[in-house]
């Protein structure tokens, strides 16, 4: 657990699930650079500590917490800790890795046990984080969820995964309307193929080249490129963007 308090005006507070790797890690670093006090949440305490230390070494403010976003009590405890440490929450980025991208199957052959895992992790997990965010985020804040470009691409074999992500999109758009009177924005970011550790794992060069070729620029996105959009949505400059699913995919077709 690492924290670095600053004197004077209290900073905005950002809670980032999945903040120790990939897009979440880059989002944490960018929001800290913007002056937010960042709560880095991960299932791996050591990895969260590493990111928090990087932020504080650079002069930012960060707190590392272990939390399981599939567990209701753990999610509530995460927000409790953020509030008790920094006095409130202004931004929530739910970047925790979601299940199912590698579990492809035609609808006719899908093992329903896989569907149950997708439901619990992607839909129920996101709903729990969104529920706590809706209760805790201060007026004028921002909530950012994650979908995927796969939903729009309608790729065969990805029905269960895409359905779970479509549910996240629906939740996001409805929550934006429910929280509008409090000036809280709610948006989803939908990345295309992005070179995170999790995405690259288990894929050979030919597979990665094929995925890269789907973009006009013939390359994969980077975690930082996705995180820049997250940071924009969290900033005051991005506050008029609300109730949107933003495709960040390099023009993937």
- Residues tagged active-site: 161
Determine which helix (DSSP H) or strand (DSSP E) holds 179, and give its type and residue range.
none
User: 3-class DSSP state for residue 46?
Assistant: helix
In angstroms, the CA 33 to CA 226 distance is 16
Contact at 8 Å (CB) between 117 and 99? yes
Residue 161 near residue 190, CB atoms below 8 Å: no
From the number of C-beta atoms within 10 Å of its C-beta (0-12, 13-18, 19+), residue 237 rates as: exposed
Round to the nearest angstrom and report the end-to-end CA distance of the chain. 42
| H helices present in 40-186, as ranges | 45-57, 72-86, 112-118, 125-136, 150-153, 159-178
Please tell me what DSSP assigns to residue 122. Answer: I
Q: Residue 196, exposed/middle/buried by CB under 10 A (0-12, 13-18, 19+)?
A: buried
* Cα–Cα distance measured from residue 109 to residue 253, given in angstroms and rounded to the nearest whole number: 26
């Amino acid at each position: 657990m690492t924290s670095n308090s600053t004197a004077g005006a209290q900073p905005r507070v950002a809670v980032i699930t999945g903040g120790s790797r990939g897009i979440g890690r880059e989002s944490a670093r960018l929001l800290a650079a913007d002056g937010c006090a960042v709560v880095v949440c991960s299932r791996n305490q050591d990895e969260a500590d590493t990111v928090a230390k990087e932020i504080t070494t650079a002069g930012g403010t960060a707190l590392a917490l272990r939390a399981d976003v599939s567990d209701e009590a753990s999610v509530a405890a995460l927000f409790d800790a953020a509030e008790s440490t920094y006095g409130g929450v202004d931004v929530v980025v739910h970047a925790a890795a979601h299940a199912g991208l590698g579990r492809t199957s035609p609808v006719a052959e899908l093992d329903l046990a896989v569907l149950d895992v997708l439901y619990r992790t992607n839909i129920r997990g996101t709903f729990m984080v969104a529920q706590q965010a809706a209760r805790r985020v201060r007026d004028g804040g921002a909530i950012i969820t994650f979908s995927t470009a796969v939903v729009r691409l309608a790729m065969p074999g990805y029905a269960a995964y895409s359905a779970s992500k479509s549910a996240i999109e629906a939740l996001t758009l409805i929550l934006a309307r429910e929280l509008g009177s409090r000036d809280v924005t709610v948006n989803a970011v939908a990345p295309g193929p992005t070179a995170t550790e999790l995405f690259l794992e288990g894929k050979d060069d030919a597979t990665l080249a094929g995925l890269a070729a789907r973009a006009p620029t013939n390359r994969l996105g980077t975690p930082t490129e996705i995180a820049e959009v997250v940071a924009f949505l969290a900033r005051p400059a991005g506050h008029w963007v609300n109730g949107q699913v933003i495709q960040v995919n390099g023009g993937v077709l």
